[in-house]
Amino acid sequence: MGKYQCYYCEKDTDSAHQIYFFQSKQEREELLCDVCYSDWLESLKSEP
């Protein structure tokens, strides 16, 4: 069991990365595991 639960894949993880994003015009704060965090970073890079 990890200390945190990933927001995206819902797996338990010991190393969590905090992210901020807007959803329905509200700022949200969530935790991502290493894998999802790197995916999230990639998706930011691909935006124009």
Interface contacts to Zn ion, rule CB under 5 A: 6, 8-9, 33, 36
Shortest Cβ 8–Zn ion spacing (Å)? 5
Radius of gyration of the chain from its Cα atoms, rounded to whole angstroms: 11
- Taking the least distance from each CB to Zn ion, the nearer of 44 and 48 is 44
- Taking the least distance from each CB to Zn ion, the nearer of 24 and 33 is 33
Shortest Cβ 17–Zn ion spacing (Å)? 10
- Give CA–CA dist 25/42, Å, rounded: 22
- Give CA–CA dist 17/37, Å, rounded: 7
